Amino acid sequence: MNGFVRKAAAVAVVAGGLGSVGCAGGPSLGDRYRNFVDPCYPERYSAVARQEVLAAFGPQVMNGQVLELTVWNYHFEPGSDKLTPAGLEKLDSLARKRPNPDPRVFLQTARDLPYTPDAADAFAAKRQDLDTRRALAVQKYLAVQTARHPMAFEVAVHDPADVGLNAQAAGNSFRGQLLGYRGGISGAGVGAQATGGGAATSTPTTTTTSSSSSTGR
């Protein structure tokens, strides 16, 4: 019993002294303490986990920003460097970004040029020429819209895939919410019920009834 009391007192003294060691620890007591436990738990591991999450999230943010700053083919009249009203609105939104516009704008390469096998050799040159004229049109318009606070815009041509999402699922969900909640188990004899526009499928259940014969009736 006395040995147990002495050990408990020793642990209490060590714990009380280590309360002021902190994450760094002292030159003697802190070094010995770190041989048994990590005084920086859980901050050390939380910081590593945070960096790993942000490292994977960073490229997604960058890709999204590049697509947001992209002027697409449909912002020009087909085969031309003339901006459409939608293209002017797009450039206006880029010029009004807060706290300041991004000086680098991206331009989708001209994929609206018709390709003909007979003129395959000249096709690349025509696309490059149209890309150059469209980039100049973008720079000229942005320069006019930011004339009060002049800044130089760089237009980089790239070839991204068209960004889109099938809206049928979202449309069905929006229309379905007007009808209220749908789905769930309707009752005995039905194992599953389809939710949405599909036909409901049911799984029949088998009920076994045991009967016992009684005498004397």
Beta bridge mates, 105? 155
Assign residue 187 a region (left: φ > 0; alpha: ψ between -120 and 50; beta: otherwise). left
Radius of gyration for the chain, computed over Cα atoms and rounded to the nearest angstrom = 35
Distance CA 73, CA 80 (A): 10
- Tokens (6 digits) for 185: 């188990």
> What backbone phi and psi angles, to 5 degrees, belong to 155?
-110, 120
User: Residue ranges of the domains in the chain?
Assistant: 23-58, 69-158
**Tens-of-pLDDT digits for all 217 residues of the chain?**
555 555 555 545 444 554 444 454 455 666 777 777 877 788 888 999 999 988 988 899 999 999 999 999 999 999 999 999 999 999 999 999 989 999 999 999 999 998 888 888 899 999 999 999 999 999 999 999 999 989 999 999 999 988 877 788 888 888 888 777 666 666 555 444 444 444 444 444 444 444 444 444 4
DSSP string, 190-203: ------SSSPP---
Residues with Cβ within 8 Å of 156's Cβ and at least 6 positions away in sequence, in order, are: 104, 105, 106, 107
Helical H runs in the chain? 2-18, 29-34, 43-68, 85-95, 120-145, 168-177
